[in-house]
Chains A and B, each alone.
Chain A
Amino acid sequence: MDINDVYNLLKKVFEDGIGELKTGIPVEDCIYVEAGKIEAVCFFLRDEERLQFDALMCLSGVDKDKTTLTTVYHLYSYALKHRLTIKVDVPKDNPVVQSVYQVWSTAEWHERESYDLLGIKYEGNPDLRRILLPEDWEGHPLLKDYKVQEFYNGMKVPY
């Protein structure tokens, strides 16, 4: 199945939940999905006979622009050997996305990392804490406007 077929299939099932299909830019095509629908869409992608995306390769958070954060899902199917990219845009002032932990358990740590570094909140993640940085760290470093704190626990942070 090529990406257009997947898109049409998803559009037929989820209607408004699916945003636009982006093709043409190098190298990867992607499908935009609503933040509140992502879990259902992923369950469908995993369980549908013709798609069978049984593995989540990667989940990345991206600081897209001044107002939006994006979560990118790279899916892969070991059964059918094809891949798919899905994106979810959320506004910066209320970055909440449904967790896909129930679909692929890989997502748990990836979502925690994305929360840690970008502050995207994943609703339904069983253990949404900071993972790389200490619990008492201030701010989310991968945001483009991140300012490093001067001191951490009495240790000077900048050089």
Chain B
Amino acid sequence: MPEVRTEEMLINMGPQHPSTHGVLRLFLTLEGEIVKDVRPYIGYLHRCFEKHTEAMTYPQVIPYTDRMDYLNSMSNEWSYVLGLEKLMGIEVPERVEYIRVVMAELQRIASHLVALGTYGNDAGAFTPFLYSFIDREKVLELFEITCGARLLYNYFWVGGLSHDIPANFQSKVKAFIKEFEPNIKMYNDLLSYNKIFIERTANTGILPLDVAINAGATGPILRASGLKYDLRKDEPYSIYHKFDFEIPVAEQEVGTVGDSWNRYMVRIKEMVQSLRIIEQAIDNIPEGDVSSAVPKRVKPPVGEIYSRTETPKGELGYYIISDGSLNPYRVKARSPSFVNLSILPKISKGHMMADLVMILGSLDIVLGCIDR
């Protein structure tokens, strides 16, 4: 019998491709439908964040942090502002802390909703995407009545906030919680426990815990691999120690710990926990002034700090070096998506092309954050 000649197929996926979530380019080596090798090429959205920080004053950097991970601007700002506050030794008023917690958790819900919707889209189910955007609009409206912007807020300032919350904010948030809570069950019925969806995602792209830690995975991806670790609990910043909430980790429910389905499911469960935090915080916002601690000139002493917070995508760290002037000497952003994407080649080899799309979607990357 003559030998069958086989050839590897080299395919460029992206930078324009419906499921690369932006301008990511994947260089695939395929054997039929099986993925032999994946090489991510990034930098198509490199917007020179770090060079900009060196030319701007400290508060001017905040809008640029917004534009890094544009799906969770609030959390980006928080991490940066938190670092500066620690460096300058500013005590933030209690009211500010509460509002920040509420905003960050709302932002987490909004970000996870996009993750959910686009993930459904990757799987070929278009409807969850539209449902999740209906819910996301409600969150955006809350942001909009507070600071006027839908996407990029410039809301957290060093020592305070740009605006106080409006009078009807609390009642609106409560109304949102009431509307949104039953929808989570709807998403579970529509997508999470759909037989086809489970078949597509369970047991694909398994990331073992030791690899996850060694490769620097953080956030939902680390928790889906089975480690109960969340900066909000394990290295509590702000006032998270006051709230009672769980950290969702992967359980042996469907598939294997560390697979795509669990990465997706951890996010759904996190939304429930975020709602719990908001419920606890929203009634206890103390009276006070949100801008009393805002310094006129932000001029930290010579020094450096690595501040990190738990954003929806994982651990976002800013390494800020101050030389005592008005401009930062160096700001390095350690973005969660950047590290999480670097795991992709490790977990997608040997899967099919359709699985690769699902694995990439389960990492929930944002290219603005990767390329900065």
Contact = CB atoms under 8 A, between A and B. Distances in A.
Q: Do chains A and B make direct contact within the complex (CB under 8 angstroms)?
A: yes
Interface of A: 25-28, 54-58, 60-63, 72, 74, 78, 81, 85, 104-106, 108-110, 113, 117, 130-134, 141-142, 144, 146
Interface stretch (B45-53, B103-111, B137-145, B286-294): B45-53
A135 to B, nearest CB: 10
Interface residues of B, number: 39
Interface string B285-305: 000000000000000011111
A78 to B, nearest CB: 6
Question: Is chain B's binding surface mostly helix, strand, loop or mixed?
Answer: mixed
Given A62-B330, A141-B51, A56 B216 contact: yes
Contacts of A130: 43
A37 B69 CA distance: 36
B29 to A, nearest CB: 15
A141 B55 CA distance: 13
30 contacts: A26-B87, A26-B303, A26-B305, A27-B86, A27-B87, A27-B304, A27-B305, A28-B304, A28-B305, A54-B213, A54-B214, A57-B317, A60-B319, A60-B330, A60-B332, A62-B321, A72-B332, A74-B306, A104-B215, A105-B216, A106-B214, A109-B338, A109-B339, A130-B43, A131-B42, A132-B371, A132-B372, A142-B50, A142-B51, A144-B54
Contacts of B303: 25-28
Contact of A57 (B214, B216, B372): B216
Nearest to A27: B305
Contacts, number: 95
Nearest to B329: A62
Nearest to B47: A132
A43 to B, nearest CB: 13
Nearest to A144: B54
B267 interface: no
Interface string B260-277: 000000000000000000
Contacts of B215: 104-106
Contact of A108 (B51, B330, B334, B342): B342
Contacts of A26: 87, 89, 301, 303, 305
Contacts of A110: 339
Contacts of A55: 213-214, 216
B216 A117 contact: no
A158 B272 CA distance: 47
B306 A78 contact: no
Interface string B214-226: 1110000000000
Closest 10 CB pairs of A and B: A106-B216, A26-B303, A132-B43, A60-B332, A58-B334, A132-B46, A109-B342, A27-B305, A25-B303, A105-B215
